[in-house]
Homo-oligomer: A and B are copies of this chain.
Amino acid sequence: MVLPVKRSVRFLPYDIVIEVEEGENLLHAAMEAGVHINASCGGEGVCGKCKIILESGELRSQRGAVQTDEEWQLGFRLACQSQVASDIVVRIPPESLFDRRLLRQKPPAARLRPMPFDAAELREAGKYEPAFQKKYLILPPPTLSDNVCDLRRLREGLKKQYRLDNITMDFFLTRKLAEVMRANNFEVTATLDFAQRRSRKPRLVQVESGNTTGRHYAIAIDIGTTTVWGQLLDLTGGEILGALGEYNAQISYGEDVISRIIYAGKPGGLQRLQGLVVGNINSVVKALLKKNKLKVEDVSHLTLAANTTMTHLFLGIDPKYIRLAPYTPTVCAVPPVRAQDLGLDLGEHVYVYCLSSVSSYVGGDIVSGVLGSGMYQEGKLTLFIDIGTNGEIVVGNRDWMACAACSAGPAFEGGGIRFGMRATQGAIEDVSINPDTGEPMLMTIGMVKPKGICGSGLINILATLMEAGFIEPNGRFREDLPTPRIRSGESGREYVLAYASETQVNQDIVLSEVDIDNLMRAKGAMYAGYITLLESVGLSIHDLEQIILAGAFGSFINIENAITIGLLPDLPLEKFTYVGNGSLLGATCVAFSREMLEEERRVALMMTNFELSETAGFMDRYMAALFLPHTQQEYFPTVMKRLAEAGRR
């Protein structure tokens, strides 16, 4: 028997060293060492995100199709395609690292929609009513002539003091009941769940000694494919005490839902992904409680919104049929589940209420946004848009709603774009271009040397190039322009935003025609989606009365530029509002409002799902939208006017 040879791997800039067997995959080694490297495709070698630089030693590496000659010669390797062949030192380049900046960005205050209710106002009007409420009870201590069981004493108190009858309860509460009731001479505080999801009866959730009505908290969670956000809520007054986000730890197993579904199908994969996101939530909850000096026992309630795949993974339900035609999720309206049964570090009385999904690709995050934005209560014909890795759209009002997911691809998150990146430090987020010289002025996040281009940057650059007249409506660079910035590159013609020496990545940062094609496909799918949903009920884009943007992307986008490239409908700017993280907002709303918690399932059922690929006319509309801004110019009257004016200059 030959003993395996041990090799050391040193990861820079962290200077973390790990011993592995020779032949070990470098991405695995990094995971084991706790070193984060981006890996969008789950290790299939196709995304090219897990680049590392081999500084010394030997790797057996497959060259990825996404790598340029230059990169290869500079020592760039894909970690997922490399095996350790000697003691090595590797460096993780900036673009393969996350920084936490994304999680600290605050959306601008302008055009933000208010929450659909004002807790303070409701409280004053005596109408503030969360589903979970605490009731203080002064019970008569037992005597020999009144020695009913403790539970019955409690029930009778609820009946006498609060006219509450037919209470249901969780078994586990009984184990501590005797001591809790006696600890403060039969003065107790009962927490009740008045949501009607499980039954028409109030459910007894918790019993505490003495009067704890002043301490009553809930947690709202949004599990995004990229980030996990939590908010700590004071249920006594309807106040948000704090918010905190983390990268979704599942990212190491794929940046998009499809890679994670595939990983979940591998042995132990589902359990690992489930454990990772539960770890995220535990860490967010712990930090929120610590910061507010609260104990875990003070939390009564956890509400959670996520897309359908994230919901399945969080619950430990194999999402595999979400990916396979005919794309059926296992469960859209999730029965309440005990937090501890999922591994959450919360009291044994805490149940998780997941917002309902509509379909495999219109999830609880969208239903949550529809709730949180108040769209479901308004009469105006509304278009609700959430653009992230996928784009989801909802059209309708309080009477009807249609929804769909657009396979827009992750172009607006930088996917499929050679220099695309997340909106973190060094990302180009805005540009202006001198139409005469073609020279750009770049604005990066953090005002540092550029590393790449973030989603809102891509839109701004494309719109700017259009307005400068550098791009034809078909997405090709004009050939007659007197600027060296436009040149032929590896992927057709390209515009050089920054030369290698001006960047952090030692390469020219460019936007190529291939990139533009990808952006056109993404925006075209969205636009075709709007039209398809509207026309399915006999309406047109001109009937829209308001547009609500959700998601971090929706918050940072330059709306005018998004209209210019044909991503958003050409409507007056005042009709656009945004809700920020709609998913988190809705989860917060249902924690604060019994009515909204009771409504959410009805809202989800009310949303008619369209599988766009199966909907007659969608493909034609999509093809028609693969143009800047669109083949049908009448959809974009103000853009056409603006471009024409620019052309005249």
Chain A residues in contact with chain B, CB under 8 A? Answer: 142-153, 168-175, 177-179, 198-201, 315-318, 320-321, 325-338, 341, 357, 359-360, 611, 614
Contact = CB atoms under 8 A, between A and B. Distances in A.
B174 A335 contact: yes
6 contacts: A142-B328, A148-B328, A174-B315, A174-B317, A178-B318, A198-B199
A331 B198 contact: no
A334 B152 CA distance: 11
A174 B149 CA distance: 36
A152 B332 contact: yes
Contact of A178 (B175, B200, B330, B341): B330
A357 B321 CA distance: 47
B168 A335 contact: yes
A21 B177 CA distance: 40
A149 B331 contact: yes
B326 A177 contact: no
B175 A315 contact: yes
Contacts of A327: 144, 147
Copies in the complex: 2
Contacts of A198: 168, 199
Question: Which residue, A144, A326, A330, has most C-beta atoms of chain B within 10 A?
Answer: A330
Given A142-B326, A330-B177, A170 B320 contact: no
Contacts of A199: 168, 198-201
Contact of A329 (B149, B172, B329): B149
Question: Which residue, A179, A329, A611, A614, has most C-beta atoms of chain B within 10 A?
Answer: A329
B614 A326 contact: no
B145 A614 contact: yes
B147 A359 contact: yes
A331 B174 contact: yes
Question: Which residue, A152, A171, A329, has most C-beta atoms of chain B within 10 A?
Answer: A171
A123 B333 CA distance: 37
A183 to B, nearest CB: 13
Given A174-B317, A201-B199, A326-B144, A335 B149 contact: no
A241 to B, nearest CB: 28
B320 A178 contact: yes
Contact of A147 (B149, B171, B326): B326
Contacts of A315: 171, 174-175
Contacts of A359: 147-149
A614 B149 contact: no
A210 B93 CA distance: 55
